Structure 1
Amino acid sequence: MSNRYFTEEHELFRKSFQDFLQKEVVPHVEKWEETGTIEPFIWKKFGEMGYFGLNQPEKFGGMDLDLFYTVIFLEELQKINSGGFAAAMWAHAYLAMTHLNKEASEELKEKYLTAAIKGEMIGCLCISEPFGGSDVAGMKTTAIKKGDKYIVNGSKTFITNGVYADFYVVAAKTDPEQGNKGMSIFLLDKKFKGISTSKLNKLGWRASDTAEIAFDNVEVPVENLMGEEGKGFSYIMQHFALERLIMGVNAHARSEYALDYAMGYMKEREAFGKTLDKFQALRHSVAEMTSEIAMVKEFNYSVTEKLDKGEYVVKEASMSKLLATKIADEVIYKCLQMLGGYGYMEDYPMARLFRDSRLGPIGGGTSEILKEIIAKMIIDNKEYKPAAK
């Protein structure tokens, strides 16, 4: 599939990663989906193979590769039919570790980023709160400085890897009177006293651990402040572009997987003396879905190219997530319908795909929030800018 975005080296990586997933992950997926727990050994295997360090600095054990290796990582994870397992892997590598790489001190990177790349420590990003999911600026968690420590109080929810995590990248208000200008980012170790977690029961993403986390007078050394005090909101907004693009890529990949499966089924399933792929209504539906997937996929690749060159792509990434997740839900709904009663059976992949896909328009900023962000940029000429260095 070599084209302007993927080289021969990219495709060799894709094949090796596919082989790794089939050998090391697929045999365990059903158990992890059923138990809701991903066993620790797989994190270390991902680390040993370098999969957590694709875009990380070589200095800390990463490979410093372009973002199209990340695209391949995301696409292939969607094709093993466990949105929860995929989420656990990319939330560690591209949510928690992105902040750690970009904002943490050299000392924190030496201790946590190196271990995270090796798969020896698991990280999570803690932003959403029980009463303010998409309203980042309205968060209530505080980090008040007292001497050589910050005292953190509050709670976070919908945190992927929240129970598994060895460290937490936490957004909190250091100056509650300043609104989003009074927000900062901290690294908390699970060994710090006053942290408690509880696992949430979800509709989909069953294999992943999604948690509510409470912070009760947690003492955090001042050295664990990441970046500058008061710039947390800018850091979050800056990295949201990558998170939203990731969810857009995930969406086009699972759409493709669902449609490929449905077409395979249509070629074998007979009704009224002919296979389903000979019925015009179904053929035209496939034509529409294939066109939609191809359009959004090409857009996602172009946004990846811009982001890889260092361009600020908040608008484009928001568009990617908005449309790709909408299309994914619609495609998987239609593909489930094409399987008829079998689409509703857990022995077939569509039921799980249908549940897992539904989180797309919710996580990482709801579709409603994204529409308003895009509208502000287009109608009000609002400019979102990277955090000043």
Structure 2
Amino acid sequence: MTINFTMSDEQKKLQYDVRAFSENVLKPVVAEADAEPDPLKGFQMTKPAYVEAYKAGIAMCMLPKEYGGGGVSCVDLVIAAEEICVVDPGFACTVLCNGLGLMPVAWYGSDEQKERFLTAATSDPTGTYLGGWTASEPPGNPSGTANFDIQLPRPAGVGLTATLDGDAYVINGRKYWPSSAGWDERGVNAGTLIVRTDSEKGGTEGLSALILERDTPGVTYKHLDKDGHRLASNAEITFDNARIPVENLMPGAVGNGDFVINRNFAWSGPVAAIAAVGMARAAYEMALDFAKGNTGGALKPIIGFQNVGYVLGDVASKIEMGRYFSWRAADYLDKHDQHAELVGAMNKIQVTEMMFDCVFKCMQIVGVNSLEKKNGFGKILREASVLPIYDGGNMGMQRRRVHGILADPMFNPRAIMEDDYVEFGKHHESIGTIAG
């Protein structure tokens, strides 16, 4: 009758090994790559570290064992992800996007698609294979995809069209922010592409998912220049009569592209949350060290002052809260067939926002010295600011998913406490997407 928060010996080894990789292989390249003005070149500078991560089994650790992946549990993934995120969450996002791009193939793809694409992802002799997640679209009026599940036809919601033409879908439109520029702006090896296969239906019926492959004719990429997560690849992608074979349509995602989006961002919720924990942990350890070694003009280090001790104590407590909520959300995913549309969203929302505040509190402890680049707080703040607004923005699709479930008359408010499965259905979507 116990609830066990103790890591197993295997999990401790996983944590140790990933921490060693992060500190010894990744960390030496981060500062220079992050400072590189050319965003594509900066991303390319992480390639040797990525190859080492691939060879070590980190890059494809989340894919099923039967196709050569690591088959790690969601809890194990979160434990490993924290150690990478402490050093650089942008690089961690590159690894995460292998999951965002390829886990939908495992969930919704045919046996042939799984064998073809997942096996290729886990058996690349060069160690450079990248998976991609291509859903978001550029802002505009009308445009953008925060309200992807709106129950209106085009032009509302997802605008990228896929029209069946013989043995292929003809794709037209643009995507913005996808993890799909690749090492050379020719795209990742393969990944999930959310398209509108029926423009006359709304987002809960008219969306599907195709597998987009590298060097598909008619697809061009432009690497985005970002303030945060500079070591992750994001792109503007233009589709001009691009043709994707019919056999790349995921059968389980036909008319269910909305489910792919919701499930994917719920699956990645604990990873985004633990990334925020990693950023707060990095800031906290730096601030604690500063407080123990600087007097601020007094006679003893400022750690002896009540305000400093109280603030750092609160930060330390919130880091523990965030970590355990992330472990809990990951555990829920493991118990419920990698479905946690409610818990995953709640975890991602609350932890990423709480940890951002923790980072700033640590900067207040250090004071104006936290602004000096060599001290590293500026980068941490930039990275932490990304987490609440990416990976299914907290103020868009994440909170809407929670709202839709809670508004269901049949919702049991004690379900999470009792570890019951909270099913997410079409009737939970699109709440609040039409103003008024």
**2:131/2:189 contact within 8 Å kept:** yes
1:149 Cα deviation from its structure 2 partner: 0.7
**1:100 aligned to which of 83, 100, 105:** 105
Other-structure match for 1:87: 93
**1:376 aligned to which of 404, 414, 426:** 404
1:161 Cα deviation from its structure 2 partner: 4.1
Residues 365/56 of structure 1: CA separation in 2 closer, same or farther (3 Å cut): closer
What are the equivalent positions in structure 2 for 1:63-142 lying under 5 Å apart? 63-80=70-87, 82-92=88-98, 94-118=99-123, 119-130=127-138, 131-137=143-149, 138-142=157-161
Other-structure match for 2:239: 215
Other-structure match for 1:14: 15
Q: Deviations over 1:22-59 (max 9, x none)?
A: 22212211222123223433333222111133232222
Residues 380/58 of structure 1: CA separation in 2 closer, same or farther (3 Å cut): closer
**2:384 aligned to which of 357, 364, 367:** 357
Residues 361/189 of structure 1: CA separation in 2 closer, same or farther (3 Å cut): same
Q: Deviations over 1:296-339 (max 9, x none)?
A: 32222112111111263211111111111111110111111222
* Residue 194 (structure 2) pairs with residue 171 (structure 1): yes
**1:159 aligned to which of 178, 181, 185:** 178
Other-structure match for 2:415: none
Q: Deviations over 1:167-223 (max 9, x none)?
A: 242100111112121111011112211001111111111222221111111111110
The CA RMSD measured in Å over matched residues stands at 2.1
The amino acid that maps onto 2:116 is K
1:357 Cα deviation from its structure 2 partner: 0.7
Structure 1 stretch 98-107 or stretch 325-334: which is displaced more? 98-107
Other-structure match for 1:288: 314
**2:86/2:275 contact within 8 Å kept:** no
1:359 Cα deviation from its structure 2 partner: 0.9
Other-structure match for 1:196: 220
1:5 Cα deviation from its structure 2 partner: 4.9
* Residue 350 (structure 2) pairs with residue 323 (structure 1): yes
The amino acid that maps onto 2:163 is I
CA distance in 2, matches of 1:117, 1:63: 9
**1:300 aligned to which of 326, 329, 346:** 326
1:380 Cα deviation from its structure 2 partner: 4.4
Structure 1 stretch 121-130 or stretch 203-212: which is displaced more? 203-212
**1:52/1:116 contact within 8 Å kept:** no
**2:270/2:327 contact within 8 Å kept:** no
Other-structure match for 1:225: 249
**2:287/2:365 contact within 8 Å kept:** yes
Structure 1: 5+ residue runs without aligned partners?
Answer: none
The 3-state SS of whatever aligns with 2:177 is: strand
CA distance in 2, matches of 1:295, 1:315: 18
The amino acid that maps onto 2:8 is T
The 3-state SS of whatever aligns with 2:25 is: helix
CA distance in 2, matches of 1:22, 1:246: 19
**1:143/1:150 contact within 8 Å kept:** yes
CA distance in 1, matches of 2:189, 2:242: 15
Residues 5/66 of structure 1: CA separation in 2 closer, same or farther (3 Å cut): farther
CA distance in 1, matches of 2:6, 2:211: 35
Other-structure match for 1:182: 206
CA distance in 1, matches of 2:259, 2:400: 18
Structure 1 stretch 249-258 or stretch 178-187: which is displaced more? 249-258
Structure 1 stretch 363-372 or stretch 8-17: which is displaced more? 363-372
CA distance in 2, matches of 1:49, 1:357: 27
The amino acid that maps onto 2:29 is H
CA distance in 1, matches of 2:275, 2:147: 24
Structure 1 stretch 147-156 or stretch 59-68: which is displaced more? 59-68
1:345 Cα deviation from its structure 2 partner: 1.2
The 3-state SS of whatever aligns with 2:178 is: strand
Other-structure match for 2:55: 48
User: How many residue pairs end up in the alignment?
Assistant: 384
* Residue 37 (structure 2) pairs with residue 37 (structure 1): no
Residues 111/31 of structure 1: CA separation in 2 closer, same or farther (3 Å cut): farther
Structure 1 stretch 327-336 or stretch 156-165: which is displaced more? 156-165
* Residue 24 (structure 2) pairs with residue 23 (structure 1): yes
1:90 Cα deviation from its structure 2 partner: 1.5
Residues 291/43 of structure 1: CA separation in 2 closer, same or farther (3 Å cut): closer
1:384 Cα deviation from its structure 2 partner: 5.4
CA distance in 2, matches of 1:356, 1:38: 19
Other-structure match for 2:66: 59
**2:18/2:84 contact within 8 Å kept:** no
CA distance in 1, matches of 2:240, 2:112: 26
Structure 1 stretch 46-55 or stretch 257-266: which is displaced more? 46-55
- The structure whose residues are more often helix, as a share, is 1
Residues 161/283 of structure 1: CA separation in 2 closer, same or farther (3 Å cut): farther
How high is the TM-score relative to the length of structure 1? 0.92
Residues 34/115 of structure 1: CA separation in 2 closer, same or farther (3 Å cut): farther
Other-structure match for 2:417: none
